[in-house]
Structure 1
Amino acid sequence: MDLDAFTAVHEPQWQRLADLSRRRRLSGSEADELVRLYQSVATHLSTVRSAAPDPALVARLSDVLNRARTRISGAHEPAWRDVRTFVVESAPAALYRLRWWIHGVTLACVLLAVVAGVWVASTPEGLAAVGPPSFREAYVDEAFASYYDPGADFAAVVWTNNAWIAAQAVGFGISGVWPVFVLVQNAVMVGAIGGMMAHYGELGLFLQLILPHGLLELTAIFVAGAAGLRLFWTLVEPGHRSRSRAVAEEGRALFTVAIALVVVLGVSGLVEGFVTGSTLPWWLKIVIGAVVLAAFWTYTLVLGRRAVAAGATGDLDARLAGDVQPVAG
């Protein structure tokens, strides 16, 4: 098939369909014309795919048809079924598919934090790197404990701050650099603070105030970093899919992860705002932190395994994601 001649003949119909799809109001005759053109252009797309599969033309016609389909059927309105699908299938599937990346990032960050903590706690150079003696003593004696001010306002501030950090790790993950920067910065900071507290004999206080919320909060940061690195690796090694398709599919799935992390960090913010700085016994605070972390992993592993086995990936369904060109493999 002569693709140039085919395009020249049918270009007016494609342009007309695109024009009608963009109009806010259609007359009765224009609505009928929209449906007829949609059917015709769908046939054109099928012909191009089978006879001369030019990727640029396939993408263009798919986009025109998607817009026309939305115009014909009406905009999709979220329903409770969509919320249920996201909570029970999409989010756990996306997290489950990321689990080994999360484990790897967690192990690397914990090791880095331990190394930083031991260096600060056991060497004069490490301790000096944290700050001058007056700063260290004020931080250990007052600032660290007073930071955890119970209340809804504090929880909201913590939530938005951590959600922003997580969003950066996911959103800029394709660079391959920013997630590593975020993860290393957080691991070294937590380890250094722990080492400084240990040097002054306050390691117990550090663990009491960091573990209740930190178990889930740090896990969420690890998840965000893992998601960003997964997206970067997809760009490097897309597998049997085309690079653009692989990045688009994984990017949409990781956006699902980002939304889920907003909820996860909301929970950790509540724990930090109402449990960490409360008057509850220290052991009960840590138990609460362990319970919410266990709930996260139960949700990820149990529901996630079930959702992935049913075919969910965390990506949008075909109705919303649009048509893609089939690939072998």
Structure 2
Amino acid sequence: ALGLAAVQADERVAHLVLPTSVIEDVYAGRMWTRSIFSAVPSTVSSTIILSNNITVAFWCFIGGMSCGIVTTLILVLNGFILGAAFKLCAQHGLLVDLLEFIASHALVEISTIVLAGASGYVLASALLSPGNLSRVDALSVRGKDALCLALACVPPLFAIGIVEGFISPSSRIPMWFKILLGASLFLAFWSYLLLSGKKKAVDTPRERVKPAEQSTDTSLEEELRRLHGEEKTEKA
């Protein structure tokens, strides 16, 4: 929204955040993706996309160690660039072309980066609000959850790298198929996260009951021993 509003107010803002080649292609009335993907083999472009996305996700995660400042900057900057690109394309009649290109991968790609940002904020919470624990102990505990979130980003990033490198730029694949694929990947991604999170929430209370049960059993045994000892004393 910020990038969109900024370009709406002054189109020159797009020059500050978008590459010159992108600006030139948009002003020429063509999508920059065509020149990029036509010059680079799909395998190479897919690898570059994967590497870039993993780098962004990694810094979103590790940026939590800056109390979330770096994570926030990365998320805001990427959102700003996306908004600026959308508005610039819309102003030059390329919005439909942009939507066709991103239809098969954008939803999952954005969701994955947001998830990586969430993992960074989990780390940040250990530093900013450790509760009754020391910050080191809080990092040790919450760091495991943060790492699980970060690792959950890896499989979808691989999938998106393949989709964006081979399917998204293809003019032979109809737009309806790209939309269907993007929606399916999006639903699969969030279904997996929600179901796995629900399973963890169900399993956790059971694990916490066991120590309580053991503690109760131990207390009963101690009480029986004490009573048995008193009986022996009275008989003596």
Question: Secondary structure in 1 aligned to 2:81?
Answer: helix
Residues of 1 paired with 2:93 and 2:25: CA distance? Answer: 14
In structure 1, give the amino acid aligned to 2:71.
P
Q: Distance in 1 between matches of 2:95 and 2:193?
A: 31
Does the aligned pair in 2 maintain the 1:271–1:289 contact within 8 Å? no
2:15 to 128, 131, 138: 131
Trace 1:45-60 onto structure 2 (pairs within 5 A).
none
Paired residue type of 1:239: G
- Alpha-carbon distance change, 164 to 134 in structure 1, aligned in 2, over 3 angstroms: closer
Contact 1:212 1:289 in 2 (8 A): yes
Could you list the per-position Cα deviations for residues 155-201 of structure 1 after superposition, in whole angstroms to 9, with x for gaps in the alignment?
A: 12111111111111111212021101110110000110110000001
Aligned residues: 196
Structure 1 alignment gaps of length 5 or more: 1-113, 313-329
| CA pair 295-148 structure 1, distance change in 2 beyond 3 A | farther
Do structure 1's residue 167 and structure 2's residue 75 form an aligned pair? no
2:149 corresponds to which letter in structure 1?
V
Deviation at 1:307, TM superposition (A): 2.1
Q: 2:117 aligns with which of 197, 217, 225?
A: 225
Judge conservation of contact 2:119–2:147 (CA < 8 Å) in 1. Answer: no
Partner in structure 2 of residue 305 of structure 1: 198
Q: 1:243 and 1:166 mapped to 2: Cα distance?
A: 24
Distance 2:102 2:37 in 1: 10
Measure how far apart 1:311 and its partner are. Answer: 1.8
Distance in 2 of aligned mates of 1:288 and 1:168: 28
The CA deviation at 1:137 is 4.2
1:276 aligns with 2:168: yes
Gaps of 5+ in 2: 206-236
| 1:142 positional shift | 4.3
Distance 2:21 2:35 in 1: 17
| 1:117–1:195 CA contact under 8 A, matched in 2 | yes
Question: Is the Cα–Cα contact under 8 Å of residues 119 and 195 in structure 1 kept in the other structure?
Answer: no
Tell me, yes or no, if the aligned pair for 1:159 and 1:266 is still in contact at 8 Å.
yes
Residues 212 and 285 in structure 1, CA contact (< 8 A), matched pair in contact too: yes
Say what the alpha-carbon RMSD is for the aligned residues. Answer: 2.3
- SS across alignment from 1:265: helix
The answer to whether the aligner puts 1:181 opposite 2:73 as a matched pair is: yes
Change in Cα spacing, 1:304 to 1:151, as seen in structure 2 (3 Å) is same
8 A contact 1:155–1:272 mirrored in 2? yes
What is the CA deviation profile of residues 256-315 of structure 1, one whole-angstrom value per residue up to 9, with x for unaligned ones? 222221212001111111210122111210110111111011001112201221029xxx
Counterpart pick for 1:157 among 45, 48, 52: 48
Give the one of 183, 194, 198 matched to 1:290.
183
Deviation at 1:135, TM superposition (A): 6.4
Could you say which residue in structure 1 is the equivalent of 2:226?
Answer: none
Q: Is the 8 A contact 1:234 1:247 kept in 2?
A: yes
Asked if 1 retains the 8 angstrom alpha-carbon contact of 2:3 and 2:80, the reply is yes
Does residue 246 of structure 1 match 2:138?
Answer: yes
Greater mean alpha carbon deviation, residues 291-300 or residues 225-234:
225-234
